[in-house]
């Protein structure tokens, strides 16, 4: 199974936890995400996008990388992130970590969350997560998921639809097979007491989990 880090243009904090998360992964940079390769000491195998927010040449620190460059017109029907995800999957990527997908412009962050949900729905075998060094984001599938979390870590579930049969264990405010309508904010601002176990019958949601400050 090929593991990829996809570098997007949103802000990151190059913490030890983020460096550990990208270690050993193949790397694709999308447009301005190339700057994160320098900050994280990575050598992308591909630089892809319309290059409207990137320098004309790669940073000097990456001149020795064997890096292909694939350019697209600015007027296109896919984001640079979508192009990078597609390129990773064409190269056998089954475990994708999106770096620089959170923070920055709200519309960009929102689109990355929607894309993450869409990708895991389309391919149940695909593993996909987002991490910027400060915050993790994981799309939820129906079924059960267990996530490592430090006691006291803050987390929320962002809903994109009504949720049915939601269970939250390992939290200050647990839930047991509760139906949550989309307008409710019941799933915001919870606190882990240890590993979090989530169960979902139907619906679309994203887990946002703050990184453990002790590991940054």
Q: Where are the domains of the chain?
A: 2-134, 143-215
Other beta carbons within 10 angstroms of residue 147's beta carbon come to 17
For 66-109, the pLDDT digits (tens) are: 899 988 877 777 888 999 999 999 999 999 999 999 988 899 99
DSSP letter for 63, please: T
Q: Which CATH code is given to the segment(s) 2-134? A: 3.40.50.10240
**What topology is assigned to 143-215 in CATH?**
Jelly Rolls (2.60.120)
For 110-150, the pLDDT digits (tens) are: 999 999 999 999 999 999 999 999 999 999 999 999 999 99
pTM: 0.93
Other beta carbons within 10 angstroms of residue 53's beta carbon come to 14
């Amino acid at each position: 199974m090929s593991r990829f880090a996809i570098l997007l243009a949103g802000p990151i904090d190059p913490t030890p936890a983020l460096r550990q998360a990208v270690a050993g992964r193949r790397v694709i940079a999308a447009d301005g995400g190339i700057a994160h390769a320098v900050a994280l000491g990575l050598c992308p195998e591909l630089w892809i996008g319309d290059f409207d927010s990137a320098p004309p040449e790669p940073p000097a620190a990456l001149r020795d990388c064997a890096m292909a460059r694939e350019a697209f017109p600015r007027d296109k029907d896919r984001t640079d992130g979508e192009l990078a995800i597609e390129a990773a999957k064409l190269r056998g990527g089954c475990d994708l970590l999106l770096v620089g997908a959170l923070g920055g412009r709200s519309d960009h962050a929102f689109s990355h969350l929607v894309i993450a949900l869409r990708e895991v729905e389309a391919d149940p075998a695909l593993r996909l997560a987002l991490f910027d060094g400060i915050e993790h984001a994981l799309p939820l599938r129906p079924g059960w998921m267990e996530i490592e979390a430090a006691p006291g870590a803050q987390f929320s579930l962002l809903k994109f639809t009504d949720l049915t049969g939601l269970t939250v264990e390992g939290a200050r405010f647990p839930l047991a097979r509760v139906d949550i309508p989309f307008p409710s904010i019941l799933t915001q601002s919870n606190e882990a007491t240890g590993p979090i176990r989530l169960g979902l019958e139907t619906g679309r949601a994203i887990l946002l989990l703050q990184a453990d400050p002790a590991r940054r």
